[in-house]
Every structure is written in structure tokens, then in C-alpha cells.
Amino acid sequence: MSAQHREDTRAASSASIDQPVDVDVMKEEAHIVEDAVPKPDSIRDLTEEELQDLKKRIVRKMDMVIMPIMGILYLLNYVDRSALAATKLYGIMDDLNMDTTQFATAISILFVGYLPFQIPSNLIMTKITRPGFYICSAAVIWGAVSGSTAAVKNYDSLLALRVMLGITEAVFFPGVIYFLSAWYTKNELGKRLAALFMFQMIGSAFGGLVAAACLTLEGRYGIAGWRWLFIVEGAATVGCGLIFALIMPEYPHNARILKPIERDYAVWRLEMEAGAGEAHEETTTLGGFKLAVLDPKIWVMVWCMGMAQAMGSTVNFFPSIVQTLNYSSMISLLLTAPPYVFAAIWFYCISFYSDRKNSIYPIIVFSLCVAFVAYIVAMSTLNTGARYFAMMLIPSVCTGPQIMLYKTVNLHMARPYPKRAAGVAMINSIGGLSNVWASYLYYAPPRYLGAFGTLLGCAFAFLVTITGYLFWVRKMNKLLGGSEEDQRRAMKGGVTQQQVDLGWRYIGY
């Protein structure tokens, strides 16, 4: 790229360095930098209107095939993982002779298998040609493991199966986050990540209803109700995984659901935005992992995710928290559904706003402020209405910031793509360690002072850290819009030369 072109790029983007980048500015920059990534021959002569029509067709196909498959698998993933929490109300502790500490260990030990395997799994995904088949195959395996939990006879066998479940589920979530970022642009990704979490919330709500339904099977064929829960959910996961493995698309450059011209355009629009992608990247898997480990921004995200995952630990004990309202087991399970439904609606609202306004930081701050209110109410009163109001907010305020963190990683650490894959896995696995120690906070109901007091502190630490990150990336944006020497300094923070040529910026903060 010529020096004059670089000056034009800096001039076009400098107006937005110290303020949120709006869609019109981004469109203007896209036109300026379009020649940094030459169009493939198949789309070079298409008009802007024809390109827009092509884009609509591609996105429609992606939304109609990829999102439903990923959403249903995530729903099943979360239902299988959280089923144990519901069985506490079924009598599993009595049947397996567990005390409260042992039950907390059974909840947390899943992460012993879940966390260490995420990073190697995501690195493997960057080197295989069929990541979609890889994800669906993992679903079949974890469904079988989950269903096998119905056969456990003692506490030790339950622990062993929980570790195995964690290992098999480790493939899914970080893999899906990376996979979606290989298909959608930054203006499309937020709503799709939110849709994924909406499926999670629906899964949590649906899980409570399924658990309540399985309670009616208590004693059928001599099988306890909690065992029926694992049988039903495991069989559903295995069946869906087998079906989806046959139709799941792969990367845009080799997807069978796209025509050749659509593949060319799908790859080009992503590379024009953030540089060389999956089809043309030459960075090695280990090289990408090393870049991720050496990037301090990723470690900031790891810390923030650790705080968010600690806040999210409430989901692992949500049926028990709701039971402190002193309703029957059946009513308590049914009351777990509305907070998750509200959270699904909330996720759509914040993601729509985030994509439309390219805003991330304000959404995180607002969610954390609402979390302060929810935790204080939960600790300070025994009033049924006030406590359920706090419970209605808890799933939204703990998961909403996580959506924004995943979006931040995929936008701010987009290239090289092996680094992005490693970064997503790092924040999810290392940050997810909070689920282990946080599982032991839920004692002394109904106020759970230890748990909610700790989570209040986590929310505050999250707020302070993400505010520091805000000033950090704004400083980096100033360097990217400055002289060539300033840009070289910015590149030491993980920005590629091609991104500099494209006028790339850290957006959302």
C-alpha cells in the first residue's frame, strides 16, 4: 500500500479515534481501504447493489443453517451440564449418600476435565478442514457420557463421569465462538453471539421444565426420576449430534452450502475487515498460541472472564437458590424458567444495540451496575417478591458481560486467526477456573451471604479492570492514527501490518 493511501486511511479514521465508531464512518473506511485486499476475479465486476444482494444471500444461508444447529447443540450442552443441579431436588444426594460439600465437589469437578482441554481443542480446530463435523461428533460423545450418569451407583462413579463429561464438552463452546467469528463480520457477530446465549437461557429454562416433567416418571420401571432426567437428555443430545454431523457446514472457503462465487465473497468481506483469514493465513498453530500468551490484552480478558464466570456460578445452583422461596420442588423448578426467558430477551436487546452502535463497554458497565443491585437485594431481605426480583436479574447480569467479552476478543484480537482461536479458548478455560472455587460459596441459605458478597466484589473488580482496558485501547487507537513510528509501537501490541493498512481500530470502547 502506498504512503499516500496510508495517509488517506489515517485521515478518514482519525475523527473516530476518541469517540464511538458509527456505522457510517465504518462504511466510509471500508470504501477507502478496499484495495488493501483485492477482490477475487469472480466478484470484481459486480456492482455495489449486486454485492449487497450476494451478502444478503450468504448471511441468510448462514443464519438458516449454522445458527439453528449451533443453538440447539448449545441448548443441549447446557442442559446436560446443568442437569446435576436439578437432581439435588430429586433426591440424588440421599440415593448416593452425599453431603453438601460432596455435591459441590460433584458440580465443580466437571471443570477439571472441561478447562484444560479447551485450548488444545481450539488449536486443533484451526488445522482441520471439517470443524463443523468435529463439533457435532463431540456432541454425540458428551451426550452418551451424560446419559451414562443414569447408571451411577455411588459418589465415586459420579465424580468420574463428571470429569469425562467435562473433557467431552470442552470442544464445544470455545470452538463455536471461534467458528462463528470465521463466518460473521464484526457488525453481525454480536447478535449471533447473543443468539447463542439466548439458546443457553432457553436451555436453562427448558431444562427446568424437562426436570419437572421427569419428576413425574419417578419410579417408572423401577428407575428414579433423577436417572430418567439423564437418560432423556443424553438420548436427545446423541440423536441431534448424529443428524447435525451430516449437514453442518465448514469454513466459508470450503462450505458446501455456498456457491463458488458466494464462497469468494464470504472470504473476501471478512479479510477486508480484519486481514488474512482462514483461507490464506500462514501463521502456525503454535505461533498463534505464543502470540496469544504474550498479548497482555488477552490476559486482561482472562481476568475479566474469571470475574464474570464467578458471577455466573449462580446458574449451577439456581434451583437451590430459587428453592429458598419455600415453594415445593415442582414449583421451584418451574420458577427457574422466567429469569432465563427474561435473560434471552435481554441478550437480544443488548446485542442489537451493540452491533448497531458498535458499543461494548457501556453495556458491560450497565450490566455490572444492575448486578450490584441484584446481589445487595438477595443478601439484605427475605421478602419473597424482592428476592424473586433479584433472581429475575441474576442470569442476565452475569451472562450479558460474558457476551461482550467474547465479542471483544474476536474483534480486538482478530488476526492472525490461530491467535484468535487460542485467545477465545484461554479466556473461557482459564477464566472458567472461577467455577471451581465459586462452587463452594453456596452455603447458609437463604441469604447466601458468602456467595453474594463475594460476587459483589467480583463485579466491582470486573468494573475497575474493564475501565482500565478502555483507556488502554483508546491510547492504542491514537497510536494507530498517528505517525508511522506510532503505528509501529501499536503493532507491538498485536496489530498486524495489514490491519494498519486497512485502517483497523479497536472498536466498542
Angle, CA of 207, 208 and 211, to the nearest 5°: 85
Give the model's pLDDT for residue 77.
84
- Nearest Cα residue to 304 out of 412, 390, 184: 412
Is the pLDDT assigned to residue 296 strictly greater than 50? yes
CA distance 230 to 290: 40
Mean pLDDT on 385-404:
92
- Nearest Cα residue to 422 out of 276, 270, 294: 294
Amino acid found at 486: D
Considering only residues 330 and 309, tell me which one the structure prediction assigns the higher pLDDT.
309
Please give the backbone phi and psi of residue 80, each rounded to the nearest 5 degrees, phi first.
-65, -40
Give the model's pLDDT for residue 31.
54
Give the model's pLDDT for residue 135.
93
Q: What is the pLDDT of residues 421-449, one digit of tens each?
A: 788 888 988 988 898 888 888 888 899 99
Q: In the chain, what are the domains?
A: 3-9+20-29+46-501 (1.20.1250.20)
Give the model's pLDDT for residue 414.
63
Mean pLDDT on 272-286:
58
Amino acid found at 254: N
Angular region, 91: left φ>0, alpha ψ -120 to 50, beta rest: left
Is the pLDDT assigned to residue 79 strictly greater than 60? yes
Instruction: Answer whether 177's CB lies under 8 Å from 410's CB.
Output: yes
Instruction: Answer whether 421's CB lies under 8 Å from 123's CB.
Output: yes
How high does pLDDT run on average in the chain?
84
Please give the backbone phi and psi of residue 30, each rounded to the nearest 5 degrees, phi first.
-60, -40
Q: What is the pLDDT of residues 164-203, one digit of tens each?
A: 999 999 899 888 888 888 888 877 887 888 888 788 777 7
Instruction: Answer whether 350's CB lies under 8 Å from 406's CB.
Output: no
CA distance 26 to 12: 9
CA distance 240 to 243: 5
Mean pLDDT on 461-486:
92
CA distance 59 to 53: 10
Give the model's pLDDT for residue 452.
94
CA distance 360 to 402: 11
Considering only residues 350 and 316, tell me which one the structure prediction assigns the higher pLDDT.
350
Mean pLDDT on 313-326:
87
| Cα dist from 222 to 94, 218, 219, whole Å | 17, 8, 5
Q: What is the pLDDT of residues 207-257, one digit of tens each?
A: 667 777 877 787 788 888 889 989 998 999 999 999 999 988 888 888 888
- Nearest Cα residue to 467 out of 401, 420, 395: 401
